[in-house]
């Protein structure tokens, strides 16, 4: 009986030591990421512009199941789904330095005369400034009413274990031979657990 109690205590001590070692390793990894990001305790902010051109890097995947309401102006019908790959740039100009790209889908989930609501699900591919990895984000947006905000749910590479939010706003819309070139601006605030 005494021998069994001694073995249980030894096993418990071994498990607690292993847990402590795992915590130290986790803290070292997270601290390394924080120092790489130079967060200052408030999270890292990634700033970028998206270059959007319907018909070149954004395509209809599924037609609307329900047409937009009459008199809605620029509106899309419920069920319309688009797939896209937008280039991320450092500045507003399309020719500025490329930071990566964003791939995803947007689905119209509500359409009224007042607004069209999109459900957005995409992955940010960041390849700049010594940081390489992806950020998965999703949320609803009414693009005609900036700003809009998405939840950042996870990350890979330099952004492993990250959480946060991404706020976007409209910058410009310029007619082009293939439709309209739209530029939006984003600030993604990232936090480590």
48 Cβ contact list (under 8 Å, min separation 6): 88, 89, 90, 99, 100, 185, 186, 188
167 plus 149 within the same structural domain: yes
Residue 38's alpha-carbon distances to 28, 52, 97, 172, 191, in angstroms, are 15, 31, 22, 32, 12
Q: Give the total number of structural domains in the chain.
A: 2
26 plus 54 within the same structural domain: no
Structural domain boundaries enclosing 3 = 1-38
The CATH number assigned to the domain holding 44 equals 2.40.480.10
Record the tokens describing residue 17, joined without a space. 């030591």
140 plus 86 within the same structural domain: yes
SS3 content of the chain, % helix, strand, coil (to 5): 20, 50, 30
Q: What is the pTM of this model?
A: 0.74
163 plus 98 within the same structural domain: yes
pLDDT at residue 38 greater than cutoff 60? no
Regarding predicted confidence, which is higher, 100 or 178? Answer: 100
pLDDT tens profile 132-169: 999 999 999 988 888 999 999 999 999 999 999 999 99
């Amino acid at each position: 009986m005494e021998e069994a109690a001694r073995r249980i205590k030894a096993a418990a001590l071994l498990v607690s030591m292993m847990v402590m070692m795992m915590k130290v390793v986790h803290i070292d990894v997270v601290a390394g990421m924080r120092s790489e990001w130079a967060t200052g305790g408030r999270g890292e902010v990634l700033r970028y512009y998206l270059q959007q051109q319907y018909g070149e890097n954004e395509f209809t995947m599924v037609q609307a199941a329900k047409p937009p309401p009459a008199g809605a102006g620029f509106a899309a019908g419920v069920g319309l789904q688009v797939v896209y790959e937008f280039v991320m740039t450092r500045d507003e100009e399309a020719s500025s330095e490329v930071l990566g790209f964003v791939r995803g889908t947007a689905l119209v989930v509500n359409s009224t005369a007042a607004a069209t609501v999109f459900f957005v699900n995409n992955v940010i591919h960041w390849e700049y400034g010594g940081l390489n990895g992806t950020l998965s984000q999703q949320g609803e947006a009414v693009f005609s009413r900036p700003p809009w905000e998405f939840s950042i749910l996870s990350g890979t590479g330099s952004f492993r274990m990250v959480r946060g939010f991404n706020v976007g706003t409209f910058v410009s819309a310029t007619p082009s031979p293939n439709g309209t070139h739209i530029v939006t601006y984003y600030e993604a605030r990232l936090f480590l657990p």
